[in-house]
Amino acid sequence: MNITEHPSDRPPGWDWRHEGSCRGTDTDMFFTPDDREQRTIRARRERRAKQICQDCPVLPQCRKHALTAAERYGIWGGMSETERARLGRRHTQRLAR
């Protein structure tokens, strides 16, 4: 998220990250700093992160990455880890039918 690497150091297929609205933003806004974060503080932090994601030009790519890579932590593509897990469970249930 706070991207400072040289363009030649980028993994293939990750160029979209350099176009994100989150570029240059402190990653602490997108990831829980520790397991002891209070629920209200976490909700406020996640809301601010999602506001940044809301109009992001690469939101679809970010979300697809998070779902494909099964990112376990943080706000990715405007979704929290709880929202991604819930979406994954629904998808699994649909496949089971």
Q: Which residues are part of a known binding site for [4Fe-4S] cluster?
A: 22, 53, 56, 62
CA 23 to CA 17: how far, in whole Å? Answer: 7
Q: What are phi and psi of 76, to 5 degrees?
A: -135, 130
Are the CB atoms for 70 and 76 separated by under 8 Å?
Answer: no
Annotated binding-site residue numbers? 22, 53, 56, 62
